[in-house]
Every structure is written in C-alpha cells, then in structure tokens.
Structure 1
Amino acid sequence: MVMQTEARVGMSSGHGVVGNKASSSHLLTPYQRSHIESASQLLAGGLAGAFSKTCTAPLSRLTILFQVQGMHSDAAALRKPSILHEASRILNEEGLKAFWKGNLVTIAHRLPYSSVNFYSYEHYKKFMYMVTGMENHKASISSNLFVHFVAGGLAGITAASATYPLDLVRTRLAAQTKVIYYTGIWHTLRTISTDEGIFGLYKGLGTTLVGVGPSIAISFSVYESLRSFWRSNRPHDSEIMVSLTCGSLSGIASSTATFPLDLVRRRKQLEGVGGRAVVYKTGLLGTLKSIVQREGVKGLYRGILPEYYKVVPGVGICFMTYETLKLYFKDLSSKL
C-alpha cells in the first residue's frame, strides 16, 4: 500500500494532482493517521522485542537453567555455575538447536508483549504528562523521571498480564533438558490446563507483577534519562549508538535491582511440572527466605552472569530497533 501510494504520488506530480508532501497529507484524516501511528508503535515494539530475544536466546536459556538449579537439588550438591560448562553440555547432549529451545514461543510471547509494552508506555506517558499539567511546560528532571518510572511500571504490568500464559509456556519449554514432558506450545498449554487447571496457566503471576513493574519502570526511566542527558550534551551523535548504549545500561540497572524476583518467578512457573511435588508452599517473601536458607544469599543471584551477558546486547538491541523502526514508520506514514 505504501509503495503504491508513493508511486501514485510520483506519477501524479507532473499533472498537478498530488504535487508534494503537503498536498498528499490531506489524503488521510486525523483519525486515520492516529490509527496508523498506533499500529506503527505496536508493530515497531513487537518486532524489536522478537528480534532482540532471538539474538540473545542462547544466553536466555542458560539464565533459566541456572535459575532453577536449586529447586530439586541438594544445596550441597549444587556446583558453581559455569557458563562454558553448561553451554558445552547443551551442545553435546542436545545439539546446537537446543540453544534456541522455546524460542518460537518466546517470539509468540514477545511480539504481543513488546507491542503492548511500548504502546501502553507511550500512552501512559502522555496521560501522566496531561494529568500532571506538564504537557505544555518544560518539566524538571525529577518530574520527567517520575513520569517515566510510573508509565514504565504500568506498561510492564499491563503487558505481563495480557501475555502471561505464553511466558509460562516459554519457561517450561526452555527448562527441559533430558526429560521432554512438553512437545510444543499448544501441547504445553493443554497439558498445564489438564494437569493443573486453567489457573495453572497463571502460576507465578503475582510474583511476576511484583517484579515486572519495577523492572520495566527502572528500565524505561533510566533509558529515557540517559538518552535525554546524552542528546542534550551531544546532539549530533548517532541515534543508533545512543539507543544501543543507553538501552544496555538501563538493562543492567533493571536486571540487578529485580533479579531475585525474576528467579522466584521462574521457579514458581515450574512448580508441579510432570506431577512433581510443590517445593515452595509460601508466598514471595517465604520463597525468598527458603532460597536464602538452602542456597545462601548468592542463590538469589544464581544465573546473574549470563543475564548480564544477555541483557547488555538484548535491551540495547531492543531499544535501538524500536527507535529505528519508529522513525522509519513515521517517515512512511508522512508520505501517505
């Protein structure tokens, strides 16, 4: 449609029908343009999330495997996590493709999750500026930080709630090693519903929402603050380099702050797999206490190293791709 429109504009310009961008802008009503802008934001966010997750899938799987090591193992028998050792084991026992085990469901989850996340963030941010009266005034750094933090937290909670069953499926597929209990997305959804009931698809949601709100809030607020500071001091630097660097730093900040909550979330998601006994029978605080007692404080950060290796390129790629696609779609829509 875009190519046809551009061709039509080019062909008609010699006859004075649609001579330039100014006259072509009347082809769409404000209502239509608003819908195109919303669709562009959703598409840019979804593609950015899916692309980022695919690039970092091997490190993501290693993180999950380390996070769940202490669930059914004796604390004394737990070896020191070694990325190289675990990667070699996966390669030798499961093959190269195993590094992307569960990546299909990751993409199926990340497309709607990132779309809803980025889209709702933009709208929550606009709403926050409007209700606080900062929409048409130059706000202070602290005020902007507050808006970005709250909007990011609300966006994360919205996106996680809307797509949670797919996140659960992805964790269970990625955590499988020698024993294959689930064979695919639909089989996993059906099996969980049959074995654990429909509410089994939302196992660990409470912990997820407690963690994802602050995580996304920190990620967005750090990213926006760093990006704004960078652009004000070095306005001519490459947009791609700015987004990649600020996105990576924001990912490190959010992962460090919320990693124990993410670890509890993963373990809660794996409760009762294949009829296994429930390990953690208490809430969030009780589970955190149990992990510290069994594995020490270091147990709360089991898998943090591959998480860092993943999050630096992952979040950077995600923000960079989102900003690039957003500008690209904006340019396309202006030609309609």
Structure 2
Amino acid sequence: MIPCSRVSILAEERESERAAAALEMEARVSVCGRGALVDGGTRKFLQPLHHQQQQTPPSLNRQTQIGTVPQLLAGGFAGAFSKTCTAPLARLTILFQVQGMHSDAAALSKPSILHEASRIVNEEGFRAFWKGNLVTITHRLPYSSVNFYAYERYKSLLESIPSLQSQGGFAGADIFVHFVGGGLAGMTAASATYPLDLVRTRLAAQRSTIYYQGIWHAIHTICRDESFFGLYKGLGATLLSVGPSIAISFSVYETLRSYWHSQRPGDSTVMVSLACGSLSGIASSTATFPLDLVRRRIQLEGAAGQARVYNTGLFGTFRHILHTEGPRGLYRGILPEYYKVVPGVGIVFMTYETLKKLLLHGPSNS
C-alpha cells in the first residue's frame, strides 16, 4: 500500500510539471542570439525547486504562490539581467559569426577572442560590448508574454484531441503535449517578435561605422532600404532551429537529471540543476549553431547598403559557407557561445529566485 500522503505528493508533482512547462520553454528558443540557449534550457533549471515548492501542502502553496503577471515579470527581468551580464560574449559571438561575409572580415582566418575584445575596446570603447543590448531587453518581455500565452492555448488545443484524452494518464501523452506545445509556442513567439531580433543583430554587428542609430531608426531604415519584409530576413532558419533546439535541450537535461537521481536519490541541489542545464545548453548550441550562424548572416544581407553575399536562400547559404570557408566556417564564434552558457544560466536562476522571494515577502504580500 502506498501512503495517502505519498499519493498526494505524486499527484502534485504531476500538476507542477505541467505548470513548469510553460516557463521552461521561454529560454532556449530565445531567438535573441542563442541566449539560447542560456535562453535554451534556463527554465528547466527552475524545475527542481519548483517541484520542491509544489510538494508542500496545498494550504502552504496558496500562501507562497505568486500570480502569473509577477511571475512573468520576474522571469522577463531575470532573462534581461542575464542577457546584460553576458552581452559582451554575445556580441563577440555575433561578430565571429558574420566574419567571412565581406573581404575585410575574411582576413581574420584565425579569430581570437582576446584579439577581438581588444579591438572593440581600442576602436569603439568599452561600452561597445553592449551594442544592441537595449533591443535585447526590449525583446525579452513581449517574447516571454507571447510564448507563455501561446503555450497555454496550444496545450489546451492539444489536450482536446480525443486520442490524447484517451491516454490522459500516460506519461508519453504529457511529454508530447509539452514538447509540441512548447515548440509551437516558441515558433509563434519567435515570429511575433522577430523584427526586434533582426534589429539587435544589425546593431551588434556594427563596428566603427555606425549606420543604424538606434532601434526605431534601424526599423525605419530597414523598411526604407529593404521593404517591410526585410525585417523578417532569416526567419526560416530561426523556425527550423526551434524544434531541434528544444528537443535536444529537453532530452539531454532530462536524461542527465534522471541519471543523477538514479545514482543519488533525493539529491536536487542547485548545482546539480546548473550542471545538467549547462551541459544541455552546450549540447543544444553545438547541434544548432550552424543554423544560428546562417540566420545571422541572412539577417545582415544588404545591411547598411552593402552588396548581397548570398542570393540562394537558406540551403544555398549553407553550401556557400561550406565551399568558401569549409565545415569550420559553420562554427565561427562557438567558443564565446560556450563561455556564456554557465554564467548565463546561473545569473538567470539566482535572479529569478531572488525576485520571487521579494515578490512573496515584500510589503504588498506581508
């Protein structure tokens, strides 16, 4: 016989997993520059603590739960703060990714992070590490809001499918709903906020010559020079990377966490979540980085009045890069991407939990 208290805890765990799924999909798709990643598994790292909170009796849950809007704001601010802290590495990633598009950048056949960082400081000043960060922050809240809302709608739609209803107690059905619903929500949020992602890339890729003066100037200039559809260059590569990114991040994280718990039952420390999440982010970044690089290059096609480099679409761009730069060309900038995974995850995790505590125990909740 299983004690009633244990049955109750198991039931609450199941409900907590469904609620946590809406949050865990916010990060890695982050079309805002692989934040992904950071952006890519960040919400998953909140699951263990979320599960611990949900295991408390319902009477305590009612007292310690924050509303949807404060939770959304806390998640958005945590993501924005993390992006700000890791912005220098994110900009280095973008600068390396777009090398090879034009002859002046192609000269750097062996890019060095230290060399490029020194160039930025000497030629553009220290503040240039945060070029495009304002639009990153501006992108975060609407992206989170659309993702959260769309996930709930898609989840309800999927759960209304008769074949899934007949397997309501089957774990595979829940995974399918979370995975497909999260993927569709990520694609919806990416499409809705994509112009901000493109503008961020254009601003971050500028070096000593400034063509775009800010967010609104960039949007106006792109529409004038390249038409309204110029704001959606590279969207196809973004949507193609959403599914594999979530799948890899989800699978690696859950596999590592399950293995760890099988070896050490009951051990759900922050460091375990951070380690598993970081490894899942690295795996996801490695697998989908070529798509992200192609996306960045397509986003910069025709920027600042420069001649087009790629005229054959997504797959033609892949072939062009492989032909001119070799397979390694698809991984330009992967090192700074790796370097920002662990601090990015840690900052998001700590900021999110700190804000939740402040919202729970602040003056308005006392």
Q: Identify the match of residue 312 of structure 1 among 299, 319, 342.
A: 342
CA contact (8 A) 1:149 1:218 kept: no
- What is the aligned partner in structure 1 of residue 134 from structure 2? 104
> How high is the TM-score relative to the length of structure 2?
0.72
Alpha-carbon separation, structure 2, partners of 1:117 and 1:277: 35
| 1:318 Cα offset (Å) | 3.3
- What is the aligned partner in structure 2 of residue 237 from structure 1? 268
**Given residue 137 of structure 1, which amino acid in structure 2 is its aligned partner?**
G
The CA deviation string for residues 296-315 of structure 1, in whole angstroms up to 9 with x for no partner, is 00000011111111123224
Alpha-carbon separation, structure 1, partners of 2:359 and 2:157: 23
Alpha-carbon separation, structure 1, partners of 2:78 and 2:256: 20
- What is the aligned partner in structure 2 of residue 280 from structure 1? 310
- What is the aligned partner in structure 2 of residue 152 from structure 1? 182
The CA deviation string for residues 247-279 of structure 1, in whole angstroms up to 9 with x for no partner, is 212211210110000000000110101211111
- What is the aligned partner in structure 1 of residue 301 from structure 2? 271
CA contact (8 A) 1:62 1:83 kept: yes
Question: Identity percentage over the alignment?
Answer: 71
| 1:156 Cα offset (Å) | 1.9
Q: Identify the match of residue 215 of structure 2 among 185, 189, 193.
A: 185
**Given residue 168 of structure 1, which amino acid in structure 2 is its aligned partner?**
L
- What is the aligned partner in structure 2 of residue 253 from structure 1? 283
| 1:241 Cα offset (Å) | 2.8
SS in 2 for 1:78: coil
Rate the CA distance shift 1:89–1:78 in 2: closer, same or farther, 3 A: closer
Determine whether 1:170 maps to 2:200.
Answer: yes
**Given residue 237 of structure 1, which amino acid in structure 2 is its aligned partner?**
S
> How high is the TM-score relative to the length of structure 1?
0.78
CA contact (8 A) 2:100 2:106 kept: no
What is the RMSD computed on CA atoms of the aligned residues?
3.4
CA contact (8 A) 2:94 2:201 kept: yes
Rate the CA distance shift 1:127–1:329 in 2: closer, same or farther, 3 A: farther
Q: Identify the match of residue 85 of structure 2 among 55, 58, 63.
A: 55
CA contact (8 A) 2:190 2:239 kept: yes
Query: Number of residue pairs matched?
Result: 303
The runs of 5 or more residues in structure 1 that have no matched partner are: 1-20, 27-32
- What is the aligned partner in structure 1 of residue 322 from structure 2? 292
**Given residue 210 of structure 2, which amino acid in structure 1 is its aligned partner?**
I
Alpha-carbon separation, structure 1, partners of 2:81 and 2:242: 20
Alpha-carbon separation, structure 2, partners of 1:73 and 1:178: 16
Alpha-carbon separation, structure 2, partners of 1:106 and 1:212: 18
